[in-house]
Amino acid sequence: MSTNITIPIIKELIKFRLTLSVVFSSIISYFLGTNSIDYMTLLLLIFGGIFIVSSSNIFNQIIEKDLDKLMYRTMNRPLPKNEITQNTALFLAISSALIGLIFMYLININVAILAALSIFLYTAVYTPMKLISPLSVFVGAIPGAFPFMIGWVAATNHIGVEAVTLFLMQFFWQFPHFWSIGWAQSTDYKKAGFKMLPTGRKDKSTSAQILFYSIWAVLVSIVPFFGITGELQLSYIGLTAVILLGIILIYKSYILFLDGTNDNAKKLMFTSVIYLTCVQLTFLLDKIFLL
């Protein structure tokens, strides 16, 4: 067994690209929540977020080490390949969690509480629940939606209607995103015993629920236009952009409902990533040009 902790091993262990995408959503919501950038707060948010998400991902891989060996897409991760010891990984997970929580606490206590809750729910509830019930996706969607909320709370130190709206936008989005992954990777997930799809099957009921939550994700994203979400606002131009993006997401979900192929599920998964990124950027650009 190799005792060297290399950069490629660390990148794989913390799921580097996923970590960056999660932190990106926090950065966007920080800019949405502030009118005067505090660069120290922003740096703490970025690096604290990296450590928090990395910790959750490492804990996840420690818990699922033996199950990862069974799946084609995860069998080459560092722990299944014995490229790093479980004790070393555990040390990295705990250290990352502590450093991340300290950084978040330095921003404000509300951010630290949300970050701690995120690690707990993802690691202690969502991860083991994947073997028990499809409801794990609902549980996992809670910490998964925290980052878009945390950035706003970092900027304002307040959990109000704006932060809750941002949370709901990312919460509902996760169902078409992760169920489309579960659909395309169903064979691999079954090998490990993961119960990811709501009905356990790639059937019309599952695809109908994917379509249902896609619609809800779009509906929540246009609520700020109506002036009922405090400082979180959306102009006519922003509304138009969000609706157009939403139509694409809903259309891809509808195509999966009509024809439940793995190819259509993969297309929906990629569409959902583009949709979320573009919606977040739309809100940011909308704020910049509204000021």
Mean pLDDT across the stretch 138-145?
A: 95
Q: Is the pLDDT of residue 177 over 90?
A: yes
Q: Is the pLDDT of residue 1 over 50?
A: no
Distance between first and last Cα of the chain: 57
Query: What is the reported pTM?
Result: 0.94
For residue 289, count other CB atoms closer than 10 A to its CB.
Answer: 10
Residue carrying structure tokens 């690096």: 47
Tens of pLDDT, residues 200-221: 899 999 999 999 999 999 999 9
Tens of pLDDT, residues 34-48: 999 999 999 999 999
Q: Which residue has the higher pLDDT, 5 or 40?
A: 40
Tens of pLDDT, residues 236-261: 999 999 999 999 999 999 999 999 99
CA 276 vs. chain centroid, Å, equals 10
Query: Is the distance from CB of 129 to CB of 139 less than 8 angstroms?
Result: yes
pLDDT at 3: 53
d(CA 261, CA 253): 12
Which amino acid belongs to residue 114? L
What DSSP string describes 82-102? TSS-HHHHHHHHHHHHHHHHH
For the chain, give me the number of helices (H) and strands (E)? Answer: 13, 0
pLDDT at 137: 94
Check residue 128 and give left, alpha or beta (phi > 0: left; psi -120 to 50: alpha).
alpha
User: How many Cα atoms occupy the beta-carbon half-sphere of 249 within 13 Å?
Assistant: 33
Q: Is the pLDDT of residue 5 over 90?
A: no
Mean pLDDT across the stretch 267-272?
A: 97
pLDDT at 238: 96
What percentage of the chain exceeds 90 in pLDDT? 93
Q: Is the pLDDT of residue 2 over 60?
A: no
Task: Give percent helix, percent strand, percent coil of the chain, each to the nearest 5.
Answer: 75, 0, 25
Query: Is the distance from CB of 199 to CB of 135 less than 8 angstroms?
Result: no
Residue carrying structure tokens 């740096």: 43
d(CA 275, CA 110): 29
